[in-house]
Each structure stands twice: as C-alpha cells, then as structure tokens.
Amino acid sequence: MRLDELWEGEMAGVEVGGEKVLLMNIDGDVRAYRNRCPHQAWALDEGDFDGETLTCSRHMWVFDARSGSGVNPDNCRLASFPCRVDEDGTIRVDLG
C-alpha cells in the first residue's frame, strides 16, 4: 500500500506475506499492528479509529494508536510490526 492511499486519521486492513496487518496513519506517522484484537482475535479494521485511539467493535476494548497499549483495559497490548515509508511512498512492513 502507498502512503497516499492511507490518509492521516485513517486505517486499513491489508495482507502481508499471509499475515493480516492493520495500518494506521497517525498525523503522518504510520503504525502497523496484527489485525486481531488480543481479547478474542476480532478484526480490528472493523472497529473505530478517531485518529488517536482504536476501539474494537466486538467488545469495545480501546487501544492507544501510537503505542498499541491498552487504554481500557490497560493490561493488554496490540502486537506490532516495524514499518517504514520508502521514498516512493510505499509502506513496508517487517514481519520478522
């Protein structure tokens, strides 16, 4: 996916090497997370993103979009992947 396809304040579910990944553009900074809620593995791209927090649509768990840390409840965390934006605007995700 290219950065110009993921506007600031938007998220998108993509597949990278067979892994479902959630990309989020937070004020021009792209974050990549496993596209599954740690609670019951619900797809996070079906949730709500207000530009700062992500809310899972299934049970309303809330996460800080920048860090992936749980807000409610605060004892959980999203699984993250390193990512970068190439000079040509392509978003690259490292699955490790």
Euclidean distance between CA atoms 42 and 11, whole angstroms: 16
- Structure confidence by residue, pLDDT tens digits, 62-79: 999 999 999 999 999 999
Residue 51's identity, in one-letter code, is: G
Name the pTM for this structure: 0.94
pLDDT digits (tens, 9 = 90+) for 20-39: 999 999 999 999 999 999 99
Q: What is the amino acid identity at position 47?
A: G
Domains of the chain: 3-93 (2.102.10.10)
